[in-house]
Amino acid sequence: MANFIKGQYNLQNMLCDVLFIHIPRLISKSLTINLIPIGIFSIADFISNRGISTKILHMGIEQELNAKFDVAGFIKENNISIICLDLHWHHSAHVTLKEAERIKGMNPDCKIVLGGNTSSFFSKEILQEYSFIDYIVRGDGEIPLFELVKQLKGNSDLSKVPNLSWREGCQIIQNNQTFVADQNLMNNLSFTNFSLLQNYERYLNYFLDEIIHNKRVIYFNCGRGCPVNCSFCAGSNISQKIINNRIRPELMSYWAVIRELKNMKQFGINCWYTCFDPYPHSDYYATLFKKIRDNDIKLNLYFECWSLPSKEFIDEFSGTFLEDSTLIISPETGSNKVRNKNKGYFYSNKQLLSILNYIEEKGVNCILSFAAGLPFETKEDIFRTFVLIHHIKRNYKKIEFTFSSIALEPASPIYLKPSLFEVISERSSFDAFCSKDTDLGYHTDNLTKEEINAAIELMKIEANSEDNMYSPFNILKSRMVKNEPLNFPEILQDISKFHKH
Ligand code: B12
Ligand code: SF4
């Protein structure tokens, strides 16, 4: 706690058996891989409770605090023998492998373990092509990593380690994926043992500085998995089956969630962000929120809804959390047809507007998230998104917007079967995700990448523009009326010219 109060950052000598390292990647203002996967905290806590000394290091934070910090040299100096790197988000594949190679070059005797969604999905390809990676833990990592460390320190029978991919001579062995964290195990995991992270104060303050202002935010989900299949999502039911061998979502018990929230408060966290809503029509959260009130836990909550929230949910939400709390809803498109074809949980524009009325009535903050370039989406469908944004902008006071493109994610339904979704994939192997460039990785039968990106830029302008003849909505509307083509890149260029002058 002293560290928290004084805000000191320092890197002590770290004598530990297992070091987790997060290699960040800052791609653009809106896309960074700066967060450590939440599951790293639970694995690190799990193995350290079983007698394995463990630390977590965020390479970006260390370099921010000491520009000369060199992770490979640090490992050598501290003689650490097992290095765990998360290769969860594909965007960081390139930088993670580059750093792994440097670490191995300087520390030939250390063992490098990868884990996380992307490395789980491409485990065979990675082990075949990158000799400096020793092991990959596929899917949930708690028991497999514990068993791996035990074997490495003992008699090295790797065939006993569940979920492990490894090399025997030139052969890649994929042990059975028998470990899937269930409710019982999850209830006993801690996601909030931040003291395992070196200089955790800086990490907890990252959002204070960068994203959600004036808040110490922490991400935490009350379970794992998803029952539905959104076309673009690599956390969908079908993807979870492939990556985690998880068939259905698993939810933590209320008492375990309450314990974690109380722990958060001890670290001065005043904002909980969650993106886990597998059963939107159940009363799981309504009941949890009542218990949060009973326990007098005061927090802001940012809640990503996987469908539309019900009125009961909104009542409980607004009656439980502090005033900056926000609901994030992702209609993605203004076209009912496109939403129906792409989202696991469908709702119509009419249902959306009706619940927005209630959200406004209750004075709850709400952010709507939109995209462009979804499978089956035409330019006219994108115009419907502008119509919806325009309508909401004019009729609702508190609703905000966010816009982003949806990249091709490995193991998502569109990655697995692009032609079924009329998508032209530009990435079908691990190497394709390893390039330094990160773009959408696909285009569709109806839209080029340039058109998708321009449409998103126009949406951002629309959200902030006055309702005059130069607004993207009005320009698109007039083109529709005159039956002129909706050329998003050209319109974007014209509007930019207008802004310049
Ligand atoms: C919650 C969530 C988030 C949270 C992240 C919170 C956090 N700190 O982890 C938020 C909302 C911030 C987020 C952001 C992003 N996310 Co996200 N997210 C999810 C979501 C909904 C659930 C993930 C989760 O909670 N898993 C459960 C936790 C407990 O486990 P875990 O962290 O995965 O770790 C376990 C295993 O993966 C494994 N493991 C992980 N790392 C390692 C390392 C080692 C060495 C070992 C042994 C094991 C291991 O063991 C852990 C414990 O068992 C999934 C979709 C889904 N339904 O699963 C998408 C998902 C993971 N996200 C995704 C993406 C793309 C992103 C963004 C890049 C989006 C963007 N464009 O900005 C950013 C990246 C942010 C960053 N790194 O800074 C993709 C990943 C696809 C891919 N293969 O790359 C997914 C699958 C959704 C999708 N769109 O397809 N996300
Ligand atoms: S609801 Fe859709 S976007 Fe959310 S995790 Fe499930 S499949 Fe992914």
To the question of pTM greater than 0.85 for the whole model, the response is: yes
Q: Which atom of ligand 2 is nearest to the CA of 226?
A: 6
Looking at this protein, which amino acid is placed at residue 113?
V
Instruction: Report pLDDT for 13.
Output: 53
Distance between CA atoms of residues 140 and 135, nearest Å: 14
CA 234 to centroid of ligand 2, rounded, Å: 8
Mutation probe of ligand 1 site: the residue of 17, 59, 88 with most atoms within 8 A of C-beta: 88
Ligand nearest to the CA of 87: 1
Phi, psi of 90 (to 5 degrees): -65, -25
Cα of 146 vs centre of ligand 1, distance in Å, is 21
Q: Is the CB of 84 under 6 A from ligand 2?
A: no
Q: Where in the chain are the domains?
A: 2-174, 205-500
How would you classify the pairing of strands 365-370 and 326-332? Answer: parallel
Q: Helices 349-361 and 379-395 sit at what angle, rounded to 10 degrees? A: 20
Q: For ligand 2, atom 2, name the residue with the nearest CA.
A: 230
For ligand 2, the distance from its centroid to the CA atom of residue 345, given in whole angstroms, is 8
Measured CA to CA, the distance from residue 170 to residue 146 in angstroms comes to 25
For residue 14, what pLDDT is reported?
Answer: 59
Query: What is the whole-number distance in angstroms between the Cα of residue 215 and the centre of ligand 1?
Result: 21
Beta pairing class for 82-86 and 18-22: parallel
Q: Is the Cβ atom of 233 under 6 angstroms away from ligand 2?
A: yes
For residue 6, give every residue at least 6 positions away whose Cβ sits within 8 Å of its Cβ, in sequence order, or none: none
Q: CA-CA distance, 494 to 431, in Å (whole number)? A: 38
> Can you tell me the distance from the alpha carbon of 382 to that of 388, in angstroms, rounded to the nearest whole number?
10
Ligand 1 pocket check for 41: Cβ under 6 Å: no
CATH topology of domain 2-174: Rossmann fold (3.40.50)
Q: Which of 231, 233, 339, 340 should be mutated for ligand 2, with most atoms under 8 A from CB?
A: 233
For residue 232 and ligand 2, the question of a CB distance below 6 A is answered with no
Task: Kindly report the number of other CB atoms within 10 A of residue 34's CB atom.
Answer: 17
53 vs 231: CA distance, rounded Å: 41
State the first-to-last Cα distance of the chain, in angstroms, to the nearest integer.
54
Q: What is the pLDDT of residue 4?
A: 27
Based on its alpha-carbon atoms, the radius of gyration of the chain, rounded to whole angstroms, reads 24
For 452, half-sphere exposure in the C-beta direction (CA atoms, 13 angstrom radius) is 25
Please give the CATH superfamily to which domain 205-500 belongs.
tm_1862 like domain (3.80.30.20)
Q: Could you say which residues of the chain have pLDDT below 70?
A: 1-14, 207-213, 498-501
pLDDT at 31: 77
Structure tokens at 265: 């408060």
Tokens 């884990």 identify what position? 115
